[in-house]
Structures are given as C-alpha cells and as structure tokens.
Structure 1
Amino acid sequence: MQKVFIIYLALLTLSLATAPFQVQCPSSPLIREAKNELCSEESLYLRTKEIKTKNKLMDFLESLTEAKFNSKFYKRVRKDPPKLGIAISGGGYRSMLIGTGFITQMNDYGLFEYSDYIAGLSGGSWILMDLVVQNFEVGSLLKEWDLDEDLLPGIPEFDISEEDIVTNAKKEYSENDIRIKKREVKKTQITSFSEFYDQVELVANTIGERSEECRLTKRNLNPLTRLKRIFFPNNTFTETDAKIETFKTVLDFYKNLHLKTKPKKMEGFQISFTDYWGKAIVQRLKKSFEVHNHNFSFSKLVQSSKKFKECSVPIPIFIANCKNGLLSNVIFEFTPFEFGSWEDILRLFVKLPYLGSKIVLGKAVKCVNNFDDLGFITATSSSIFNNVLIFIWNLASQSSRDAMKALNMVMGIFGLGKEEIFSISKDSSRLETDYAVYQPNPFYLYPGKDNVLTSKNHLYLVDGGEDGENIPLRTLVIPERKLDVIFVLDSSSDIDNYPNGSKLKRIFEKLDEENIHYQFPNNVKTFSHPIVIGCNAIKRPGHDSFLPIIIYHANSYHGHVSNTSTFKITYNQSEVESMLLTGREVFSNDYDIHYKNCLGCILTKRTMDRLPKKKKFSPFCLQCFKDYCYS
C-alpha cells in the first residue's frame, strides 16, 4: 500500500509540474510599452538571423537561369536583403496539411528558413505547434500526429461552415432557459454506466416520437439523434460488450482531459473550454511531451530548440482576437518572447515566460512560469473548435428540457457539464469560459491605458476566424517588422470549402481604416495561380518604408481534392499525401519554372525599389510583374 501511495505522489507531482508555478519576480519590468520598436530579444534574433541565413536567398537566386541576374544585382541584394514573412490561414486539418505541403516546398527552395516570421491561426497554428515540437525541422512535420485517430473522440465528422458553427454556438438563452439549466444540472446524477446508457436511450427515443416542431429543421437532425450518432454510430442500442468498450474509451478520453486540466485549476487559475481543447490537441501527438519535458511551455520549448538558438528559423507568431467588451478584430499575438497587442488601444506586451503572473498598474505582484502552455496557446488560436462542443450542447438545449438533461449528463461525465462553462448569465462578474480566459490580465489598470482591455482582470481570446479574420496578415504588415514580402496561404472555406478571397478582402477593409491601402482583384473567378498584390512601391503612412508585397496563394484544385471540411478530423495516409502535394503545387504554381524565376524578381523588388535610379529592373522582371502583379 505504501508503494502504491508513493507512486501516486510521484504521478501527482509530475502532473502538477505541468501547471503554472510561482517563481521569484525579476527586478526588471515585465511590461513593455510598444512605441515604435520591437522588443530587444526579437530585434537581436533578427539581426543574427540575417547573417546566418542570407546565403539561403542567394542560393535560390543563383539557381534561376531564366532570370539572368547580373553581378550588380547580387551585390545590391547582399547589401540590402529583402525581409520575408509567411501567413497561414485557419481551416482545421485542411489548412494544416495544405500549409505543411506549402512550407515544405518553400523549404525545398531554401526560402522557409530564410523567412523572418511565420504567423498562424486556427489550423495554421497547428503547423506552428508542430514546428516547435519538431525543433523547426520541416522534414519531420506530421511525424508525431495521429491523423488517423479522431481529433475529438466521439464527435462525428460533419461538413459545416466555420461561420455557421460560430453563429449557432453563440446563441443566447432566455431567463427561463437559464433557470431550467441551473435546476436540472443540480438534479443530474449518474450512478452507473448502465443507468446512463438506459437514460440516453429512453430520452432519445422519446424525443424521436415528438412532432416535427421539436426538430431543428436547419440541421434536419433531431438533437438526440445527433447525440445517438455521436456515441452509437450504427444507430442501435443493443448493449454489447464492444459498444460498451467503445463508449468507455470515449469517456476515458474526456476524463483524461479533465485530469490533465485539473492541476491548473488547483493552482487557482480559471479553467475554460480552451484548456480542455488544448489538452486534446496535445493528446494527438504520439509521444507525451508533457511527461518528457515536465511542461509544455511555449517559451521554454522554443528557447531549448537548437535551430532557434542558432537564429536560423522564422519566428513563430500565434494569433488570436480579443473579445473583451464585445470587441471585434482586435489582434493579440504570442511570440516566443512576449504576448500582447500592437493595436492602438493597447500597444503593451508582457514577457511570455511570465504570462499568468499577477501584474497590477504595470508592477509585478506575484510571478509564475508555465502558464504559456503551447497546447493552450494553440487552442486559443484555434478555439473555433470549442464551438463544436458548444454547438452540440446548444442543439440539444434548443429542442427540449429532456434533451438538455441528457446532454447535461454527457458533459457532466466529461467534466465539462457545469453551467458556468457557458455564457448564460448577465452577471458581469462571471467569466465567459467558452472563450479562452487569460486571468490575471497582465495589463490590468496599466497607467495611462483606461479602456476595456485594462479595466478588467481578465482577457477573453478567441480564434480569429470568429471575427472573419482568418488570415494572420495584419501582425506582419506592421511597420516595426519592416517586411518586404509576405507569402499568404488562404485555406478558408468560403465556397465548397475553397477560399474565394473574401477573408483577404475583409482584412484589406480593416487596413483601410488604418490608412493602409491594398487593392484586390474584383473579377477573379479562380485562384489557380498566385496573385501578387501591392507591387507598386507605396510608402507607409507616416513612415519612410514601403508597404510589403503580398503573394496571395489560395487552396484550389490542382488535380487532387483538397476542399475537405474544416471539421474533418481524421485523414488516412493517401489523403494526407494528396493534401501535402496540393500544398506544394499551390506554392510552386504547379512547379512552373517560369514562375519560380519570376519569384526571384518579386522577392527582390523592394530591395531594388529602394535604389534611387529609375532603371532598376531587367526586361525579364518587368514582364514578370505584368504577368503576376495586381496593383
């Protein structure tokens, strides 16, 4: 018995080690006011990286036999090399797989490691997590992912737009619904698996006999029919050993999530759906990094990476939007160095290792490390998947009290079935935990910043896709990063799960408000090849630098079906290879040698634009600009 107890204590200690823990506060300030500069760590990294990776670009340019660049051109590029960034959109596994193929082809050209930044959100953020886990070895991407296992066991694959998921997940309850929910949650008790099984069957069959008025016509599925499909896909309820084992496996998965999330709660931190979602993402990795590293801290993992320490890879930037006070399109970012926002309403950053510390009026009161859990940050950036669970909950709650009761039982077993999980109260003191909750707010009561982002001791962060900003572009356009070219990969699901450019147009509209103007083609019927936007050298408002060129790549048909649902959560090897190949073809324009040569002209255009002389470009490059530029 004593041995069992010792083992238990060891496991408990290991579990608690993954949670945030208190540390001594440093003597230097933890908050940085972002005036017109990057943080010192980011600036130093970029200066060192330019020296380390300059030859990557030169090797690429020298391989372009059609372009026939001369010695003066190479001399100029060596003296003033262009700065590149990469923006990967959301779109679930579709985006992750297309994006992995995309940067793999970039890597083959030598352009991935040369790039200064790679920003991602939602499915794009999964690539960033994979890069960090794999020490930024592009050739090792996907090796740790169980793509043939359900991302969320028990949740069926279905084809529905992200916008529809968000809209339905956020529906409010009436005051009567709230009373019903609170009352019935308290009544819910599960004494055994068999009792639960019987109750689900009873309620499901009862609902099935009701009139069509009880059905959600928008889905053409009764909520409990959907619930039956989740746990009993063959739509029968014969209690066989096989079905019980399958059901138990699903329950064990969610119970395990609950146990892995509990240590953070025990340390006094607010838990949200995103914490569970973050643990679910990490569990799809084949080896337990939490066990090997004792933590999954983003800052610690990156700083321990050999390639990152050598300053030879792009800086990963996770993007999320803030919803404090019902804000819209207010971007926050996580880099390996800091967390915060460049938006005029804030322009404050906290050192990332100390995220989760109690900081009031800009001064540290209590400091912690390990709050910057990579799974939690990745889940924050891809929190549209929170809404899958909330959506299913709401389907039931809108149908009947019995359906609500049944789903309360389900979520209760998962450790998620508590009424405070959902935004059902007008009480402003209750945290809306269907958002990612960042509490304490490091910018709480910061002097001179009296607004919705500093007045409360919490921040609500969500997937950028919830605000329609599904491409992490604006974080790269800021003048402080001085980028010349940004590769954009759009894997949004606008029409038939292919993008139609609407997400980029929406971002351009937001940039217009900041007096940054890009034009987007109005009559493009297909995105079968890259479109280069902003070729003309236009100065940034109030700055001496030019706006970056945007090379827009859209997921499209290249001989392989790549318009899978955002919520397709398993892929076999054949599907994976097909998606990766599409990503390669999207970047290379179907391995077009002429386009590859033109890419040399496009990447160095801002370098040449900075020259005072007018005759800067060869006839070849001028033709390339005509072929691919829209401005």
Structure 2
Amino acid sequence: MKLLTLVLASLATTSAWSPTDSYAPGKVDCPSGTLTRKADSISPNEADWIKNRHQVSDASLEAFLNHCNMTDFDVADFLHNKANKSLTIGLAFSGGGYRAMLAGAGQLAALDNRTRGAYESGLGGLLQASTYLVGLSGGNWLVGTIALNNFTSVQQILDDGKIWDLDHSIVNYGGINIIKTFEYYNGIRKDIDAKRDAGFEVSLTDIWGRALSHQFFSTTSDSGAALTWSTVQDADSFTSHQMPFPIVVLNGRAPNTFILNGNSTVFETNAFELGSWDPSVYEFSQVKYLGSGVSDGRTNGTCVQGFDNAGYIMGTSSSLFNQFLLQINTTGLSSRITSVISGLLSDISKDENDIAVYKPNPFYHSSAGDVPTIAQNESLFLVDGGEDGQNVPLSPLIQPERQVDVIFAFDNSADTDANWPNGTSLVMTYDRQTLKQDNGTIFPHVPDAATFRNLNLTSRPAFFGCDAKNLSSLVSITSNGTGKSDIYDSPLVVYIANRPFSYFSNTSTFKMKYDEKEKRGMIENGFEVASRLNHTLDSEWSACVGCAIIRREQERLGIEQSDQCKQCFQRYCWDGKFDSSQDAGLNFTETGLTNGPESTGNKTSMASSLIGQSKDLYMMLGYAFLVTMVFGGFSI
C-alpha cells in the first residue's frame, strides 16, 4: 500500500506554532491591512488553494470514476470535454463523542485508497477526489486528528498505535498508574497557568482541549501544547494540496443563554479563518492572529499568535463534554490528583462551564453583522457545534460561494432512544433555510425524522435533491438583497447513517474509553457502513456513488443520465413520500423496521440511551445526573 510520509514531526519548524513554544500565546508583528473581511465570498487564500487542490483532485476523481464500473459513461470525455468546472465534493462527519469519531474513522477509511482493502471493497479514492472535509464535535476530533497529523490515514493510526489510545478515560488518563495521571493533570495545570500569566482569560474548554490533545497529538514532545490550528497551513500535505480543505463547525452562545436552530450563529474554523456566513456576524477573521486586540478588524500595532491552539479549537467544537471535568469528586481518583484538578477549576467562572472564551473578540466593533450584542462584547463565546441540532456539519458546504456539487453526510448521531441517527440533523438544516439566519443558502427537501425511519432512509444510504428542478421553490434571496442562488447551488446530498453490521456501534455519546477490540470493532463497522457491507448489499454501490457525484453538472449541461444511473437513483433517491406514524422502530435491517430486543443494540440502559447530541435531550437530563452515571460505574 502506497502511503505518504505522515509524520507530525515534520511540522516542528513551521511558523504557525505558538511563538512562545508553549500553550501561552505570544506577541508578533502584525500583517498589513485588516484581520477581518466580510463573508461575501471565500477568502483569496482559500480560492487560490482550492484552485490548486482541483489540479490534484481532478486526476483522483477521474481515477475513482473509472474504477466505479459506470456503464455507458465516458469519464474522460465528460470531465475534460463537457464539464464546465471541476467537480467539488464535500465530506461531512457528525458529532457524537468517540462514537462519532470512531464510526466516522471507519467511514473515512472506506474512502481512502491508503486503507487496505478500500480500493477493492470500499470507495477507495473518494477521499483523494474530495475538496472539503468538515467535522463537528466528535467528527471534528476525526478531522482535526487527520489534518493536523499531516493528513495521516486511519490505517496508519491503527498500524502505529501511537495516537487514539482510548484504553483509559480522558479523565483518568493513566489508569492504575497514579503517577502518570498526576503528571498529566499537573502538566495541564502548568499550560493553563502559562496562558493566564500571558494575560488571557481561560475557560474550562482550555482544560478540555489540552486533555484531548494528549490523545490526538501524543507524538509531539509537548502533547500539542504549542500546536496551533493554523499549523495546518504549513503541513506538507496541505501545501502540496494532497488533503481536502479541513473545516470544523462551532456555535455562538453567550453565558446563561440558550440557542435554538433558528437563532443560532453557526461559526466555522477553516485552514485560514474563523467566522460565520450568518447575517448576525457575516465576517471572517484570520485564524492565525486570534487573540489580537482589534477594533473593526484593525489592530493597535500589536498582534498575537498561538491563541488558536489546535486542542482549544477542537475542544470548542466539542465543549459539551466540559462537564466531565466538573464532577471530579465522583471519579474515584486519588486525593492528590483531585487536588490538582480542583486547583485547575477554582479560577474558572461557573457561568462558562460549556463555553469557550475568545477574548479579545476578533469581531469587536465590527459593522458587518446585524446583531450588535456580538460586536459590542469584548469576548466572543463559542460552544459545541451541535447545540443547535445541526449535528451533521452541513452549513459550510451549502454556501453557494463554495460551489459544492455533492455532499456525503455521515451521520453518527444519537437521535433515538438506542443511540441511532434518525435524520434529525438534516431536518434542522432544511428548516433553517426558511429563516433569516440561513443567508440565502439552499438545502434540498427532506422528510421528517419519523419518515426517515419508516421508509428505511437510515438503513441504507439515501440521496436527497436528486432532481434540481424540484428545488425551484427553495431558491431564495440572500441577506444582502441579491438573488445569487439558483437551483444548482444546492448540492445533492448522499446521507449515510450509522447502523450495525459486524459491531453494535450505538455506544453512548459519553462513553469515554474504548479498549483496542472495541475501537477496531467501531472502525471496521464504519467501513462496512460506507461500503454497503463491502459491496455485498449492492455490487453497483460504487457506480451509484459516481452517478451522484456527476449529477449536478449533468443537469447544468442538460445531459441525460445513463440507464445505470437512473436505476441507482430509483434505489437510493428519496421519492418525496412521507410516513410520519410515530411508532417507528429502528430500521437498521435491510428488510425494514426492528422493534425487538436487538433494537437496543449492546444492552444500552434506557437512561443512558436517552443521552444524545440533540439540544432537547441535552437540556432534559441535566449535567450532574449524566456525569454521576459515567463516573459512578454504570455501563453507558
């Protein structure tokens, strides 16, 4: 198997690392011009990078489509002679803790031609042909791990065994080795103190992010303390355009407030910027200079680097998990260790338990957005990207400026009582387009969650938006008053939901440790989900994926589908029908719904199975009860 040189050590001399060579941000010279720009386009840096990425991905897409065994379709003629543009593929991985990270890892591995068996039995090469790679919460752990380890592969992670060591809970990192756990927390305390001593406010997310880094960046000498998100700009695989463009999704939420889908501000952190397309902010800031004091994007002559710590960015997108660190007396750890943790927590405001504090606010005194309270606050408050119910991170990929043709949406959410997805996230994204915050984006019609289950749209892949002509009613006017959207701006969505084949992958969102057998079982099952059980359920699955990829450009050009593609669309496209009866079972079997005892999967208790990523369940249970279950020894 051909592999790239994938060593994080190769990044050690890049300028994007913290200038203090520690977790503390440090002062640097400012770049010319402002640090912000309006969200009326992708950034010049992204545009230039995507142009060069297409030179790489176009060749990979041609190879992938040729391998798909598509009949009555000339790949070379279509891509070189007929298509007016490079085809843009987006991959989106949902939140859901380590379940989402591991199930998503198997799904990603099935798309990666560096994975053993992916070329023959999976969709190997689709990752290499993709343009964007987006994650949220647990899915952002996957995306961040892959991207910031110089586009390593899941195969390499499993072969090396150096990262994703999940044998012990992140709270009890050393297991029975008390000294190792003490050193772990003591090191985190020193990192947090260094940031505070440098004059920056710290939040619980700083602790959470440092803890995550020990699992994701363990091959660095400092477990990622000086590793910044913007470091990816200098990674060999990024500068050579070998990886897709990485993006993580977050939500904006002030302390002591709640967010719903309609009023949420969806933020993204991509390789170059942090910001939001939503009219409430409508601005992006250079991620490398987060922590710099600005007024309407202009500095006072002093800038900061190192604030965008990789673990902190990834921890922000998963801040839901901060609450684990607050119930330290229920963990059974030694008093010596708990005293260190108590010291860590003592100076952190309880109003910001699940909130990441970005101070100074990169959008301070900005006039771009229409919510003055965001621009008038000296701090920007960000939280877990799934708190508004959009647990599959689709927002960055439906922006017309990115011209995405097809999205592969991998849903590893815990929407049902037994921790399986039911399409709720897609419903949330669909509903949001009718509201002001959608900023004129188009998302194809989807049914309600009950229909997803009743019509078996989670037991097998489901395509949405198969015929762009049916989307004409969704075309809307953007917030700036220009009708720039048309029916072809809505990507076709290939929805692939978590389901069991060789392993019951419906583990709790808050299961915090996986032994090696569990970890590999989750990843193997994820591979089978993406590959239609190694093509045994549909020998033409690769061809059907190819048909989905080319569909939008065929429609633009007025090219009729081949008979094979028409048959694929008959199998996988939602036909527009609804079945909203509420007694739906769990449709993870090929033949239909399952209401028997197997529907609870691996004997998940009812109390723990109610714990999902959705906001309604999140609020209903309450943190204290949740964490007491986790650390009190219950099986979840």
Give TM-score, length-normalised by structure 1. Answer: 0.75
* Runs of at least 5 residues in structure 2 that lack an aligned partner in the other structure: 1-17, 114-123, 477-482, 577-636
Question: Structure 1 stretch 584-593 or stretch 384-393: which is displaced more?
Answer: 384-393
Whole-Å separation in 2 of the counterparts to 1:478 and 1:347: 12
Is 1:452 the equivalent of 2:373? yes
Name the counterpart of 1:550.
493
The secondary structure found in structure 1 opposite 2:540 is helix
CA contact (8 A) 2:61 2:128 kept: no
- Match status 1:149 vs 2:167: yes
Question: Alignment partner for residue 343 of structure 2, among 415, 422, 426?
Answer: 415
Q: Which amino acid aligns with 2:298?
A: K
Alignment pair present for 1:275 and 2:197: no
Larger RCO (CA under 8 A, 6+ residues apart): 1
**Root-mean-square deviation (Å):** 2.9
1:362 Cα deviation from its structure 2 partner = 2.4
- Correspondence for 1:608 among 554, 560, 564: 554
Identify the residue that residue 161 of structure 1 maps to in structure 2. Answer: none
| Structure 2: distance between partners of 1:586 and 1:409 | 41
Structure with bigger helix share is: 1
Equivalent residue letter for 2:396: T
TM-score by length of 2: 0.75
Please point out which of 53, 61, 65 is paired with 1:57.
Answer: 61
1:442 maps to 2:447 = no
Within 2, Cα distance between the matches of 1:477 and 1:91? 22
2:570 maps to 1:626: yes
Report Cα offsets for 1:479-538 as digits up to 9, x if no partner: 111101001111111221211212221222122324635322425334221100111113
Which residue, out of 234, 239, 252, partners 1:309?
239
Partner of 2:325 in structure 1?
Answer: 389
Match of residue 90 from structure 1:
95
State the identity %.
33
2:234 & 2:21 partners in 1: Cα distance? 21
1:466-615 equivalences in 2 (<5 Å):
466-495=387-416, 496-513=418-435, 514=438, 516-521=442-447, 522=451, 524-525=453-454, 526=456, 527-537=458-468, 538=471, 540-541=475-476, 542=483, 543-544=485-486, 545-590=488-533, 591=535, 592-611=538-557, 613=558
Q: Are the counterparts in 2 of residues 469 and 503 from structure 1 also a CA contact under 8 Å?
A: yes
Equivalence for 2:615: none
Aligned to 2:382: 461
Deviations 1:149-178 (A, max 9, x none): 32423499xxxxxxxxxxxxxxxxxxxxxx
Residue 25 of structure 2 is aligned with which of 14, 20, 26?
Answer: 20
How many angstroms does 1:26 deviate by? Answer: 1.8
- Which of 101, 109, 123 is the equivalent residue of 1:104? 109
| Distance in 2 separating the partners of 1:74 and 1:52 | 14
**Kept in 2: contact 1:315–1:336 (CA 8 A):** yes
Counterparts in 2 of 1:64 and 1:258: CA distance versus 1, 3 Å: same
- Work out whether residues 444 and 456 of structure 1, in 8 Å CA contact, stay in contact via their aligned partners in 2: yes
Partners of 2:385 and 2:197 in 1: CA distance: 30
Within 5 A, what are the aligned runs for 1:184-263?
Answer: 249-263=180-194
Q: Residue 355 of structure 1 contacts residue 442 of structure 1 at CA under 8 Å; is this kept in 2?
A: yes
Matched residue type, 1:316? P
Cα pair distance change 1:505/1:84, threshold 3 Å: same
Amino acid in structure 2 at the alignment position of 1:283:
H
What one-letter code is carried by the residue in structure 2 that aligns with 1:385?
A: F
Q: How far apart, in 1, do the equivalents of 2:208 and 2:340 lie?
A: 16
Once the two structures are TM-superposed, the CA of residue 619 in structure 1 deviates from its matched residue by: 1.6
Mark the runs of 5 or more structure 1 residues left unpaired by the alignment: 1-12, 157-230, 232-244, 397-405, 424-431
Render the CA deviation track for 1:252-287: whole Å, top value 9, x for unaligned: 432221112211111000010000011101112474
Q: Distance in 2 between matches of 1:382 and 1:389?
A: 13
Cα distance change, pair 571–318 in 1 and its aligned pair in 2 (3 A): same
Q: Give 2:156's aligned residue.
A: 140
Are 2:143 and 1:128 equivalent residues in the alignment? yes
Instruction: Name the SS of the counterpart of 1:610 in structure 2.
Output: helix
The reply to whether residue 374 of structure 1 matches residue 307 of structure 2 is no
Residue 137 to residue 437, structure 1, CA distance change in 2 (3 Å): same
Q: Deviations over 1:161-203 (max 9, x none)?
A: xxxxxxxxxxxxxxxxxxxxxxxxxxxxxxxxxxxxxxxxxxx
Aligned-residue offset at 1:616: 1.6
**SS at 1:416 equivalent:** helix
Q: Matches of 1:531 and 1:76 in 2, distance apart? A: 30
Maintained 8 Å contact 1:103/1:112 = yes
Structure 1 counterpart of 2:195, from 264, 279, 297? 264
The code of the aligned residue for 2:543 comes to N
Mapped partners of 1:334, 1:117: distance in 2: 13
Q: CA deviation at 1:391?
A: 5.9
Amino acid at match of 1:140: Q
Residues 15, 24 of structure 1: CA spacing in aligned structure 2 closer, same or farther, 3 A cutoff? closer
Contact 2:191 2:225 in 1 (8 A): no
Question: How far is 1:131 from its partner?
Answer: 1.1
